[in-house]
Amino acid sequence: MGAAVVGLALAAGVVALAGPWDAGQRTAERDHAVADAIREESDTERIASTVPAAAPVLDPLDGRAPESTPAAVERAISELLDAPALGGGVAGAVIDLSSGDVLYREDARSPRAPASTVKIVIGVAALNALGPDHRLATRAVLDPEGERVFLVGGGDTTLTDDDLARLAQRTAEALRERDTGRVRIAYDTSLYRDQHHPIGAGNTNIATITPLQLNAGRTDDSTHGPAPRSEEPAADAADAFARHLRGAGIDVTGSADTRGAAPEGAEELAVHHSAPLSSLVERMLTHSDNDLAEAVARATALAAGEEGDFRGVGRAVTGQLEELGLPLGNVRIADASGLDRDGRVTASLLTHALAAAADPERPELRAALTGLPVAGFTGTLEGRYDESAGAGAGVVRAKTGTLTGVNTLAGTAVTRDGRVLGFAFLASDTAAEADAEAALDAAAAALTTCRCR
């Protein structure tokens, strides 16, 4: 276990390549948080608390370790990637995150279903389009007649009942300042149209995609992973807001089931801001949050002037990746969660996206690295890397991807020489999920034990 803890510290050091660190905290983000008067600190802490904090870092890995060679990397992983458990052949790529040199490629430009590894490129695209300090806003506004309060959704799937209670309290105070003690409630989801994911309504992996929802439509107390979902997440949020507004002393008449766009000239009463986008991207990657991925992608689409739907997401994300100079041949962004089996990415795109996030000239993208699960410790890798791939514990950080017959893994690994590599392994036609995951983990772990000179 001691070696694994050292590995965790090394893995935390990897992200130093992406920007300044101070005792495990991103200093730029901390300074912005202090300076930005609109921030709601407790809400940021709540979201950040869902992403395990990095251990105190060792000296930053500065890229001056001996460079790895393509021949050595191929010797380390090629046989492992030929494992029968990985089906009909793995599309793979390995890149040096400091130099950008491609060290391994096998069908690296072949289009494959990414499953949830697509969230890496979604995070990079969103951070590039919106910036790490962008926040999603849920607003309460009053119609010009002063009779109806509209709860206006801003695409924040992390909105909780406590958030709505605080928003209702501030709304009640604003209403009393206007000598208004009785209102009706309506809700506004006009930011983008509701959509069901192609996997179908009522799926436990994702709620109805709508700009207004309470805890991603979950009907239990969970915060991530599959869960039963509400059939009307926006209406549920409006009902909760009305309940809290009554509790704050406002006479709310009628039900809160009226849906429509807030009228022009509506006056803002109160606003709730999500945690900054950097924290949202980290949460999305660590816990493979499907709802948050689709919401962040729609914010990206709107910022690019596209519609907030699957097609708009595809165009906007592709545009952002093109702006970053990433390889887009054979790529099709079908959704942001990776649940759509028609999506296609390449191992080359994933590794170059990781390299962009590691670029010290692009610190705004760093959350696409810092949010990656740590092997054996956090998120979707917490229960992996404890047997044959144990050498990778704490030293591999990677986004997992799983669909029936599809297993993928993409992230970073630190070699024995201290070199930081980005990798992507995409397997299709796999038969046994556990065996395929073990094979992918073994290949990533092999990079960490390799003196790849």
Active-site amino acid positions: 116, 119, 288
Residue in 453, 452, 435 with CA at minimum distance from that of residue 76: 452
Return the number of other C-beta atoms located less than 10 Å from residue 363's C-beta.
17
Task: List Cβ neighbours of 389 (8 Å cut-off, separation of 6 or more).
Answer: 375, 438, 441, 442, 444, 445
Widest Cα–Cα separation across the chain: 76
Q: Are 241 and 168 in contact (CB under 8 A)?
A: yes
- Could you tell me which residues are beta bridge partners of residue 141? 150, 268
Where do runs of H (alpha helix) occur along 304-373? 310-323, 347-358, 367-370
Give the separation between CA 441 and CA 265, rounded to whole angstroms: 56
Q: Is residue 220 packed enough to be buried (19+ CB in 10 Å), middle (13-18) or exposed (0-12)? A: exposed
Give the separation between CA 381 and CA 377, rounded to whole angstroms: 7
CA angle (113, 114, 115) in 5-degree steps: 100
- Could you tell me which residues are beta bridge partners of residue 229? 218
Token readout for 405 is 């017959």
Give the separation between CA 352 and CA 302, rounded to whole angstroms: 25
Say how far residue 135 (Cα) sits from the centre of its chain. 14
Q: Are 103 and 444 in contact (CB under 8 A)?
A: no
| DSSP category for residue 207 | -
> 187 in the Ramachandran plot: left (φ > 0), alpha (ψ -120 to 50) or beta?
beta
Residue in 42, 41, 53, 103 with CA at minimum distance from that of residue 78: 103
What does 253-302 look like in DSSP terms, one character per residue? -S-S-EE-PPPTTPEEEEEEE-S-HHHHHHHHHHTT-HHHHHHHHHHHHH
Say how far residue 165 (Cα) sits from the centre of its chain. 26
